Amino acid sequence: MRTRTLGSNGPAVSALGLGAMGMSGAYGAADRAESIATVHAALEAGVTLFDTADFYAMGHNELLLAEALRGRDRDSYRLSVKFGMLRAPGPGFGGHDGRPEAVKNFLAYSLTRLGTDHIDIYRPARLDPDVPIEETVGAVKDMIDAGYVRHLGLSEVDAATVRRAHAVHPVADLQIEYSLISRAVERDVLSALRELGIGLTAYGVLGRGLISGHWSAGRAAGPGDVRGLSPRFSGGNVEHNLTLVEALRRIAGAKGCTVAQLAIAWVAAQGEDIVPLVGARTRERLAEALPALEVDLTADDLAEIEKAVPSGAARGDRYPSAFMSGLGVGN
């Protein structure tokens, strides 16, 4: 497994990370035993970066990862944890909380659920509009100084917020959606990250499965699957978006890889400072994703991909309208 470093001050991690959200029901029912087996397979393949959040199924995801990682050398993997999104009983969200006292409270619970004495990268999931980012990251800095956190991360914020946070404490990486169909980060955020020496961990590299090559227009999201609320999967949009996938399928066929591998390889090819996160829930999907790191995209390949799926080609927002206002950048 190749490695990449998250920014100029962050940790060295595997060049591909595993996002665990889908193992806690975000995309419908998940198999606990298969989820744990997938984490084990990732470890055996050399994956060292595992991403979760305290609000993924109200702590379920952290407990699942703790079980899957039990007995492993703590220095052999890195935990990336998001905090600050409030939940309520049922499927709803209740806003954000970036107050310093809340940050430390969230951390105490995460450390216990994960069964660890430290978190490698700790990050607010979204910007709390009622709390200056300086106060939120200042609390994380306190926890870094106390030894409970190793590095500060951010998630889904704009370039100005990145700069303000970085002035308080060096930011290791920004986690943000980045894929062939979600490229808003390219406008000004990516250049700011590179100016400041901050890495990028890219989630949604397969557009929640939309550009994986495995979704079809007639497929309906099942119970508990958040894609049922996604504008990009809605009727009228999904058909158009899948024509982009077919264009990618032709390019992938010529390269001797799958559509998913091509899409992951494209993200990885955007810079050595970018680490794609894949949300594989099964060993089968993980096994498909891992060889993407070996797909060599030439300048001609990248130009052909750009022609097939230019920036802004997808139809529909990447989140339902209620969530779009909480993002630092758009689609």
Angle between the N-to-C axes of helices 159-168 and 133-145, in degrees from 0 to 180, rounded to the nearest 10: 40
**Which residues touch 81 (CB under 8 Å, ≥6 apart)?**
51, 52, 53, 54, 62, 110, 114, 119, 121, 122, 123
DSSP per-residue letters across 226-255:
GGGG-GGGSTTTHHHHHHHHHHHHHHHHHH
User: How many helices and strands (H and E) does the chain possess?
Assistant: 11, 12
* Cα Rg of the chain (Å, integer): 19
SS3 274: strand
Q: Could you give the C-alpha distances from 151 to 96, 101, 130, 132, in angstroms and in order?
A: 21, 19, 24, 19
- Which residue in 27, 56, 77, 319 is the catalytic one? 56
Q: Where are the alpha helices (DSSP H) in 92-188?
A: 100-114, 133-145, 159-168
DSSP state, residue 327: -
Instruction: For residue 18, list its beta bridge partners.
Output: 50, 278
Token code pair at residue 17: 């990370």
SS3 79: strand
Cα torsion 31, 33, 39, 45 to 10°: value is -110
CA 217/CA 219 separation, integer angstroms: 6
Catalytic residue check, 56: yes
**Residues labelled catalytic:** 56
